[in-house]
């Protein structure tokens, strides 16, 4: 063989190795590359299309005329069923009213709307509060998980110092309606019950006249603005005026609002929303000391701590915004994660095979990504079991659960191995040769 041939073959061989390395390492993330590598607009830029600023809400019936598929998907999802009109369709009531306790301060005949249907149902009753026509909540709620009535005193959970301790004086307008009725957040009018198209796409009268005059996708092209569309509701907060006007909760007597008043999709959410406070190591009303949730609708609060959020992964990378799959208790399994992650890729898991990563048999429940990375840490009501999965994603070690004085039941390993102690589970992990845990490092939280 001539030297030239040798050099050429050697070169070819080298190229093949290089290509091989690249091939193995091309993570499945490639389709998302534009999303991940784009310059972020930051937290303060307003991306709401100018033409939309003069638009008003038209309602989902209008959208259906031209967008059959999205309307069909949305209609079947829970977003369309959050608030349901009892007078229009009495079958929306899931509670057993024959079992309603005697000291209930409402009857089925008085209730106009149901709130929720999956985990619990509460009832809206017309009332004049503070001289205004409003709605109040019944003093019992239906717990669908155990099929029982449960006492419900909303003023205990929503701005205790800002409302009278009497649920007949507690208005849904300020405490709930911004997140449950379309249009209420920015107009103060219940344009349409439930979370309909314009809750996420903004008021659309101009778009209906001239489809080109509004480009919804452009306003959602930035991952931060996209996530904020969901954060407006799926993130616990405090009345923004506590920060901007330096007020105390009691200064907001009968006025405290529990939603980002004035926000519309595309606008910078940070100008309207003050997230519920959290400091690593401190347990609060809403969070365990590691940042995972104690209550439902905290997905945004948890997610902003995660590396996936910081890399530009959005809620809609995992959830279809119209169908809402994955839904609670109905995950799409490991496929939902493996469409981006792959073994040996640069984003991990860093082992070569499923079993090497999980140390459980491939067909074991202990090899399901969400069982270890999204343990159930939160509750839907004070008396419910832990059913809400965490959106913190980062793995919480048994030693961390112990150090942060969290209940063992919030730890992924312990949930399936209640016969073992947190210490022995931590030892298992050590034996598996997993990184030594010293302290949980949460990255800087940009959304403050
Ligand atoms: C008169 C027909 C019509 C009505 C009514 C209508 N749209 Fe559209 N919409 C269109 C057309 C045409 C397009 C552009 C073509 C396409 O991408 O499908 C469009 C595109 C969109 C897009 C995608 C924009 C993009 O940049 O890709 C969204 C989101 C949207 N419409 C939402 C809505 C919502 C929400 C409503 C109800 C408030 C609504 N539309 C009502 C005709 C309509
Ligand atoms: C929970 C928020 C939410 C609701 C409610 C919602 N959408 Fe969307 N919609 C989105 C997001 C986010 C996108 C962008 C999807 C993407 O880029 O992959 C989108 C995309 C679209 C598009 C562009 C085509 C597509 O499917 O990507 C149309 C058209 C549309 N929506 C119409 C509607 C209509 C009509 C309704 C009401 C029946 C509706 N949407 C309700 C969030 C929502
Ligand atoms: C205007 C408020 C609001 C917005 C905006 C919103 N949601 Fe929701 N979402 C809710 C409420 C309220 C429920 C509970 C609905 C029910 O139980 O009837 C819910 C339920 C869900 C569920 C659970 C569905 C199930 O079947 O269990 C998912 C998943 C979800 N939302 C994802 C999203 C995503 C992703 C976005 C952003 C694209 C978003 N939501 C935007 C208020 C909102
Ligand atoms: C900041 C937005 C926001 C406010 C304010 C809010 N909610 Fe919700 N609510 C949500 C979201 C998002 C969900 C669904 C996500 C979850 O449960 O994790 C939800 C879920 C619920 C559910 C469970 C639905 C089901 O199908 O089981 C009920 C009931 C409910 N809310 C009632 C209320 C009442 C009553 C108030 C006012 C006293 C209120 N909410 C205030 C956003 C909000
Ligand atoms: C990396 C993927 C991923 C991302 C990102 C993600 N989710 Fe989820 N989410 C899931 C999976 C998987 C489930 C279903 C778990 C189960 O089977 O109970 C879920 C469940 C939910 C539920 C139902 C919760 C319950 O138990 O009541 C809501 C609501 C939700 N997600 C909202 C969001 C919102 C809002 C965002 C953005 C802040 C988001 N998710 C981001 C994967 C994701
Ligand atoms: C759309 C793509 C995408 C999907 C879908 C996805 N991931 Fe990720 N994930 C990423 C990226 C990108 C990173 C960041 C990697 C890094 O920081 O090196 C990441 C990081 C992670 C991390 C480490 C982050 C941390 O803070 O500890 C975990 C754990 C994780 N993902 C779990 C999951 C699980 C579980 C699912 C399915 C429910 C999932 N991912 C779905 C893209 C995705
Ligand atoms: C039996 C529990 C368990 C299951 C199941 C599990 N993981 Fe992990 N995962 C871990 C632990 C423990 C770590 C922490 C490793 C560390 O800190 O060194 C981890 C870390 C990660 C990381 C961070 C990068 C790395 O390799 O350290 C990613 C990404 C990840 N897992 C994705 C997944 C995906 C995707 C699945 C489903 C295919 C999955 N995990 C299933 C326990 C699990
Ligand atoms: C969703 C349930 C589930 C989770 C989460 C889970 N395991 Fe397991 N584990 C199992 C099952 C089932 C087996 C039986 C063997 C198998 O399927 O691989 C098992 C087997 C084991 C074994 C070997 C048999 C034994 O009992 O000694 C150890 C050790 C173990 N798990 C430790 C852990 C640790 C540590 C974690 C957290 C990183 C964990 N498991 C998370 C379900 C789970």
> Given pLDDT bands bounded at 50, 70 and 90, which one contains residue 321?
very high
Q: Say if residue 443's pLDDT is above 80.
A: no
**What gap in Å lies between CA 136 and CA 218, rounded to an integer?**
39
Which residue lies with its CA nearest to atom 40 of ligand 1? 63
* Least distant ligand from the CA of 177: 4
Q: Say if residue 442's pLDDT is above 70.
A: no
Does residue 260 have its Cβ closer than 6 Å to ligand 3?
no
Total Cβ atoms within 10 A of residue 50: 10
The two structure tokens encoding residue 309: 């959020």
Report the pLDDT averaged over residues 49-55: 89
- Among 349, 370, 389, 437, the mutation site with the greatest number of ligand 7 atoms within 8 A of its Cβ is 349
Q: Say if residue 383's pLDDT is above 60.
A: yes
Q: Say if residue 374's pLDDT is above 80.
A: yes
- Residue-wise pLDDT tens digits, 101-138: 999 999 999 999 999 999 999 999 999 999 999 999 99
Which residue lies with its CA nearest to atom 40 of ligand 7? 369
- Residue-wise pLDDT tens digits, 194-226: 999 999 999 999 999 888 666 566 667 789 999
Does residue 359 have its Cβ closer than 6 Å to ligand 1?
no
Q: What is the DSSP string of 14-80?
A: HHHHHHHHHHHH--TTGGGHHHHHSPP--SS---S-GGGGG-----HHHHHTT-HHHHHHHHHSGGG
Measured from CB, residues less than 6 Å from any atom of ligand 2 are 60, 63, 67, 70-71, 74, 79, 195-197, 199-201, 217, 220, 229, 316, 321-322
* Least distant ligand from the CA of 77: 3
Report the pLDDT averaged over residues 16-24: 76
The two structure tokens encoding residue 264: 């519309």
* 8 A C-beta contact, residue 426 and residue 385: no
* Least distant ligand from the CA of 371: 8
Q: What is the DSSP string of 326-369?
A: SBTTB--TTHHHHTT--TTSTTS--SSSHHHHHSS-TTSGGG-H
Length reported for the chain: 448
The two structure tokens encoding residue 105: 């301060």
Rg (CA), the chain: 25
> What's the gap in Å between 56 CA and the centre of ligand 6?
38
């Amino acid at each position: 063989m001539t030297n030239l041939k040798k050099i050429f073959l050697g070169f070819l061989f080298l190229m093949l190795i290089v290509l091989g390395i690249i091939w193995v390492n091309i993570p499945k993330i490639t389709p998302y590359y534009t999303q991940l590598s784009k310059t972020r607009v930051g937290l303060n830029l307003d991306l709401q299309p100018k033409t939309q600023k003069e638009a008003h809400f038209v309602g989902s019936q209008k959208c259906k005329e031209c967008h059959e598929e999205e309307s069909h998907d949305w209609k079947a999802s829970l977003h369309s069923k959050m608030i349901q009109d009892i007078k229009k369709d009495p079958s929306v009531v899931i509670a057993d009213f024959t079992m309603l306790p005697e000291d209930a301060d409402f009857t089925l005949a008085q209730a106009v709307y149901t709130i929720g249907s999956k985990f619990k149902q509460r009832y809206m009753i017309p009332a004049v509060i503070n001289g205004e026509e409003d709605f109040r909540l019944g003093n019992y709620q239906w717990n669908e998980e155990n099929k029982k009535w449960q006492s419900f005193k909303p003023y205990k959970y929503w701005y205790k110092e800002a409302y009278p301790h009497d649920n007949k004086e507690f208005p849904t307008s300020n405490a709930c309606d911004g997140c449950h009725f379309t249009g209420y957040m920015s107009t103060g009018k219940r344009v349409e019950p439930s979370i309909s198209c314009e809750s996420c796409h903004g008021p659309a009268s101009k778009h209906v006249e001239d489809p080109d005059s509004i480009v919804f996708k452009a306003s959602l092209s930035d991952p931060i603005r996209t996530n904020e569309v969901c954060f407006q509701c799926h993130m616990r907060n405090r009345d923004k005026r506590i920060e901007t006007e330096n007020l105390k909760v009691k200064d907001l007597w009968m006025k405290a609002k529990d939603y980002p008043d004035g926000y519309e999709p595309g606008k910078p959410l940070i100008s309207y929303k003050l997230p519920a406070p959290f400091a690593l190591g401190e347990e609060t009303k809403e969070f365990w000391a590691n940042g995972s949730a104690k209550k439902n609708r905290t997905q945004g609060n948890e997610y902003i701590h995660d590396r996936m959020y910081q890399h530009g992964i959005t809620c809609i990378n995992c959830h279809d915004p119209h169908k809402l799959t994955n839904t609670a208790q109905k995950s799409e399994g490991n496929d939902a994660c493996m469409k981006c992650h792959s073994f040996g890729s640069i984003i991990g898991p860093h082992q070569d095979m499923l079993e090497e990563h999980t140390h459980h048999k491939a067909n074991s429940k202990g090899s399901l990504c969400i069982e270890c990375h999204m343990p159930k840490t939160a509750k839907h009501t004070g008396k419910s079991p832990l059913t809400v999965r965490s959106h913190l994603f980062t793995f919480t070690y048994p030693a961390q659960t112990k150090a942060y004085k969290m209940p063992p039941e919030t730890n992924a390993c312990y949930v399936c191995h209640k016969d073992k102690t947190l210490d022995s589970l931590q030892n298992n992990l050590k034996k598996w040769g997993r990184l030594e845990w010293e302290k949980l490092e949460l990255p800087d939280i940009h959304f403050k």
